[in-house]
Amino acid sequence: MLILVTGGAGFIGSHVVTALAGAGHEVRVLDALLPAAHRTPPPVPDGVDWRHADVRDAAAVSEALRSVDAVCHQAAMVGLGKEFGDAPAYVGCNDLGTAVLLAGMAEAGVRSFLLASSMVVYGEGRYECPSHGVVGPGPRKVADLRAGHFEPPCPQCDEPLAPGLVAEDAPLDPRNVYAATKLAQEHLASAWARAVGGRVIALRYHNVYGPGMPRDTPYAGVASLFRSALERGEAPRVFEDGGQRRDFVHVRDVAAANLAALEGLPALPEGTARAYNVGSGQPHTVGEMAAALAEAHGTRTPVVTGEYRLGDVRHITASSHRLREELGWTPRVAFAEGMAEFATASLRNG
């Protein structure tokens, strides 16, 4: 297959390109080289067709779609951002860009679409109350966060909740601008599939980490922020109490999930979309991740600050059972192994 990878010069995208090329696919890359992610593109594997253009450029997209069999859409502005004033940039990059791309695919007759989505579409993760069963806590209150009360209580009885794993059929509740744009991308893709008889797979990535993450940017994930601090000789600053539960999944495993999804797209019925969680299946706290990185790096011990960011959720970990069962994907990089590698891996300039 000839596969167009948007954002193929980015952190995840470049690993996806390597995996696809290694599996024998023809690959074409379209990337705007946004400075928040990188200053220059990484080395392009032999045989990859490289296009420097923005996914919002309809003419460039139309040209890039020539003879393409499937599109792997990795291009996006990522992370929580710095303030709500970032909203127009997020919506422009993520939602307008996706709309332009899908319109071009409709015209070009390309009917297979793989979307890089995110676990942030769920908002808070799955919680269970001993008295009321599975419940959905509301947004955390500023007063509670300031007082160091980080765990969301049961909305009915105010008692502590037990976090669990989120499945793909869980209610969707985006709680920041980035999350809202990722859910909008999924809705746009579903609408496109119904309109043209296309097939869509949305991969809801969990906390992806690994070699090639951008350094020193507020738009990067927490793993990159901690790794950047260590490289500067500073202690990683862990927000809240460090007890936030996440699923840290290695970028090579995410690339393998993309390969499995692209090869599984033809089996979907026409006009349908299917979502899959992409996680390691081994939840860890943010504090544990910071400690593992610091120990492997051999420098500064993390500092737990008690600070918080509005829009962050407390716990979000997923079940990747559907991806394993339906597409045969299995994560290969264990947490300790991955963090040891990442502690000294090269980062890209953002």
Residue 235 is encoded by which pair of tokens? Answer: 């202690």
Question: Rounded CA gap, 325 and 99, in Å?
Answer: 31
Residue with tokens 């593992």: 292
Phi-psi region of 125 (alpha: psi -120 to 50; beta: other; left: phi over 0): beta
How far, CA to CA in Å, does 96 sit from each of 99, 185, 247?
5, 9, 29
Query: Closest by alpha carbon to 81, among 225, 224, 223, 220?
Result: 220
Sign of the CA dihedral 39, 42, 43, 44?
Answer: negative
- Annotated catalytic residue 90: no
Q: What is the DSSP letter of 156?
A: T
Name the catalytic one among 127, 178, 205, 308: 178
What residues have CB less than 8 Å from 277, skipping those under 6 apart? Answer: 119, 166, 167, 168, 204, 206, 318, 319, 320, 322, 323
Q: 292: which strand partners?
A: none
Q: What is the DSSP letter of 247?
A: -
Report whether 189 contacts 102 (CB < 8 A).
Answer: yes
Residue with tokens 């992409």: 278
How far, CA to CA in Å, does 208 sit from each of 66, 212, 252, 300, 323?
31, 11, 9, 23, 16
Report whether 10 contacts 38 (CB < 8 A).
Answer: yes
Tell me which residues are annotated as active site: 178
